[in-house]
């Protein structure tokens, strides 16, 4: 009984051929785009993948380096301007001290004169 239904299934499911025009179209299409052509495409893609990775990595490294250098220069510039300001303050103090000395000397000589 099982063989009966199985043989009926086999008979019913014999492969059928596609339409002639489809078969010819398919053949023409596969021959136009042959397997050999797909090789360089795959090869190029496979070669480009590490290149893209390296490009991305070097771009990222350059960016990090640029930020680092910029920060370092900024720090140096701030340090320089700090030293400059300190120098200015010292100079101002020196000038003030000289002026005060002169004033003191003038007051002192005047009081000596009036005391005599």
Partner 1 sequence: MNDAAADPLDNELAKARSGERAAFGVLVQAHQRSVYSLALRMLGTRDLAEDLTQEVFMQLNGNLRSIDSNRHLRFWLRQVTSNRAIDQLRRRARLQWTSLEEETQLFSDEEDSDPLLQRHMRALLAELSPPARAVLLLRYQEDLDPQDIARTLDMPLNTVKSHLKRSLESMREKTAGLVPARCEDNST
Contact residues toward partner 1 (CB under 8 A) are: 1-2, 4-6, 8-19, 22-23, 26-27, 29-31, 33-39, 42
The three-point CA angle 11-12-16 to 5° equals: 100
Closest approach of Cβ 41 to partner 1, in Å? 8
Nearer to partner 1, 42 or 112 (CB): 42
Nearer to partner 1, 5 or 116 (CB): 5
Closest approach of Cβ 3 to partner 1, in Å? 11
Nearer to partner 1, 29 or 114 (CB): 29
Going 55 to 58 to 62 to 64, the CA torsion angle's sign is: positive
Residues in CB range of 17: below 8 A, 6 or more apart: 23
CA 78 to chain centre: 26
Closest approach of Cβ 16 to partner 1, in Å? 5
* Separation between Cα atoms, residue 13 and residue 17, nearest integer Å: 12
Nearer to partner 1, 34 or 115 (CB): 34
């Amino acid at each position: 009984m099982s063989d009966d239904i199985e043989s009926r299934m086999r008979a019913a499911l014999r492969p059928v051929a596609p339409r002639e025009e489809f078969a010819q179209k398919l053949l023409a299409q596969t021959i136009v785009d042959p397997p050999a052509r797909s090789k360089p495409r795959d090869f190029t893609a496979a070669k480009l993948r590490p290149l893209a990775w390296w490009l991305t990595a070097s771009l990222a490294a350059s960016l990090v380096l640029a930020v680092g250098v910029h920060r370092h220069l900024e720090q140096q510039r701030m340090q320089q301007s700090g030293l400059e300001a300190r120098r200015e303050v010292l100079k101002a103090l020196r000038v003030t001290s000289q002026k005060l000395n002169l004033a003191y000397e003038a007051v002192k000589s005047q009081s000596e004169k009036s005391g005599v």
